[in-house]
Structure 1
Amino acid sequence: MLKRSAHRTNPIDSAASVSGIRSQFERSALSREVIDVNEINRETIALLRGETVRYNISVRTELAADLPQIVGDRVQLQQVAMNLIINSIEAMKDVDGIRELAIKSQRVEKEQVLVSVSDTGVGLPPKLAEQAFEPFFTTKPHGTGMGLRVSRSIIESHGGRLWAVGSSGRGATFHLSLPTAPC
C-alpha cells in the first residue's frame, strides 16, 4: 500500500506568504452572489472529467436535492472544489484497486451546508490531517504546499470551515461547511 509521505517545501517566509494570501481575500471585495453549491460541484466534476477518465476513477455523487443556497464568490468556491478534487485524483492515480471519488452535499444543523470529498487514494494518516493545511506542507513530490492553505482561507473568508479526516488505511475525506443564505 502506498502512503503519502509528508514533507515541507522550502519556505521563504511562511508567515509573510500566508499573510499576503489572506490579505488578498480580505482586501478585495468578494463578488457575493447567491449560489447553488451542487451546481459548483457538478461544474467542477465536468471540468475534470478528462482526468477522472484518464486515471480510471469512478465519480459518485450524493448531492442533496433540497440543499439551501449560500452566498459567496463563485470563482473562489469553484477554486476550492477544484483543488479538493484534483488532490483526490492525484492521490488515486497510481494506486491499484478501486479508484473512487465521492462528493456529497447535505444540510446540517445551525444553517450550514456540508460538502464532503472522499477518495480511495493512498491515504492521509490521521496525525497529518490538520498539518495538511499548514503553509508549505505537502504530501506531493512536486507540490507547493499552498493549495489546502489557500482553500481554507477562502472558506474561512466565507464564514465557513474546511478540515480533513485522515485514515489509517487507504483514502481521505475533506469536509467544508458554509453558512446558508439568509431567507
Structure 2
Amino acid sequence: MSPETLDALGVCAATLDLAQGRVLWRAPSFERLAGGRDDSVADLCRRLGGLQALLDGDAAVRTVACEGRPLEARRIALDDGRVVLRLDDRHGEAQARQRHLEDREQLLFTSRLLSIGEMATTLAHEINQPIGAAANLLRGSVMRLQRGDLDADGRNGLLQALQRATEQVLFASRVIARIREYTHSHTPKRTPIDVAALLRACVGLLDWETEREGVRVDLQAPAEPLWILADETMLQQLFVNLMRNAIDAMRGNAPGTRRLDLSVRVEGSQVEATVCDSGSGISEEAEQTLFVPFVSTKPTGTGIGLNICRSFVELHQGRLWFTRNDGPGTSFHAALPLMSANEVSAIKKEKTP
C-alpha cells in the first residue's frame, strides 16, 4: 500500500526494515508528525526520543518524544520481519477535542442567549391565545349577569363558562412554565392523547369566539379513540393556533359562509387531523414565507404562530402542511404517529401506582 493511500486513510505509519536499518516507506502524515524525512532507522530514533527502546523491547506501545511533544508510538511486527511503526498525537487530539467542546459550549451559550431573547415575543404570542379565550368567556358571563334572567339552565351555563375561563388561565400558566422549561430541555412530557377528544376540547375553548364571528364548526371523527403519544399542552396550542388562524381568514366572508371543518382519520401508521376553513386562501407569494418566523401577512401578526405549530408537530415526529381547497379556503393537516391499543395500555399500566 502506498504512503499516499495510507495518508488518505488517515494512517500515520511507516515501514521499517530493522535488519538493514532502513525506513522503507512512510505516509506523508508520518513525516509531518515526526518532523522530517529520515531514511535510516538510526536517524529516526535520534529524532524520536524513546523509539529505540520500543524497537528493542517487548512492549508494543510506548510514548516517544518529538521536539518535546509526546507521541504514542505503536510497533506492529509483520511476518516477513519488517515492522510497521504507527504514530498518534494523543496530546494534539486531546487539545482538538477540548477546543471542540469549548466551541460547542460557546455555541450552546450563544443559542441560549438567542432563545432567551426570543422568549419575550414567543411568550406574548402564546399566552395571548388562552388569555383571549378567558376574556371572551368572562365577557359573556358579564353579559348574562347584566341581563339578569338566569334560570337553572342559565346558571349552569354561567358556571361552565367560569370554569372554562379558569381552565384557560391555568392553561396560560402551563404555557409560561413550558417556555421556562424550554431553556433547559426540548423534551416534551408525553402521555397518550385521543386526538378527537382534544379537538373537541379546543372547540369548546373557542366557542365564544366562533359564536361571535358567526362561524359554523363541524367535527368529523371516528367513534373509537385515535391515540397519539404527545404533550397535551403543545398539541392543544397547535390546534388552537390553527383554528384561530382559520377564524381570522374568514373575517371577510359574508355571514353564513364561514365554516370551520375539523376532521380526524387514520392514514397508514399516522393520525391525520385537518383544520379546514372557507376563507380567502393563501396566495402563492404568502406560501413562500408561510412558516418563516417573524413574517406575517396580518397587519398585527407576529409571524411566529405557524412556525411554533410546525416545531410542535416535528417534536412529535410528525408533519404539518397545507393544501388549497377545491372551493374557497385552506386546509392545514397535522400527521402524527398512531399508537396501538396495546401501547396505550402498557403506558397506562406503567403510570398506575
Pick the TM interval, shorter chain. Answer: 0.7 to 0.9
Larger Rg: 2
For the aligned residues, what is the CA RMSD? 2.6
- Kindly report which structure 2 residues correspond to 1:1-183, keeping only aligned pairs within 5 A, or say none: 24=182, 27-97=185-255, 98-109=257-268, 111-126=269-284, 128-129=286-287, 131-166=289-324, 170-182=328-340, 183=343
CA distance in structure 2 between the partners assigned to 1:158 and 1:25 by the alignment: 18
Report % sequence identity: 35
Contact in 2 for aligned 1:166/1:173 (Cα 8 Å): yes
- How big is the shift at 1:64? 2.1
Look up the equivalent residue of 1:141 and give its one-letter code: P
Q: Structure with the greater relative contact order (CA < 8 A, sep ≥ 6): 1 or 2? A: 1
1:123 and 1:169 in contact (8 A); partners too: no
> What is the alpha-carbon distance in structure 1 between the residues aligned to residue 336 and residue 183 of structure 2?
16
Q: Is the 8 A contact 1:125 1:168 kept in 2?
A: no
The more displaced of 117-126 and 79-88 is: 117-126
2:317 and 2:339 map into 1 onto residues whose CA distance is 11
The structure-2 alpha-carbon separation of the partners of 1:164 and 1:26, relative to structure 1 and needing over 3 Å to count, comes to: farther
Structure 2 unaligned spans of 5+: 1-113, 120-180, 344-353
The runs of 4+ residues in structure 1 deviating greater than 4 Å are none
Q: Which runs of 5+ in 1 are unaligned?
A: 1-15
Moved more, 172-181 or 66-75: 66-75
- Tell whether the 8 Å contact from 1:129 to 1:166 is kept in structure 2 after alignment: no
TM-score (norm 2): 0.44
Contact 2:241 2:309 in 1 (8 A): yes
Say which structure is richer in helix: 2
Q: CA deviation at 1:82?
A: 0.3
Change over 3 Å in CA distance of 1:72–1:130 after alignment to 2:
farther
| Deviation by residue 1:74-101 (Cα, 9 ceiling, x = unmatched) | 0000000000000001111232251000
How many pairs align?
167
Structure 1's 40 and 131: CA in aligned 2 closer, same or farther, altered over 3 A?
same
Separation (CA, whole Å) in 1 of partners of 2:184 and 2:220: 33
Which of 173-182 and 72-81 deviates more? Answer: 173-182
Distance 1:164 1:129 in 2: 10
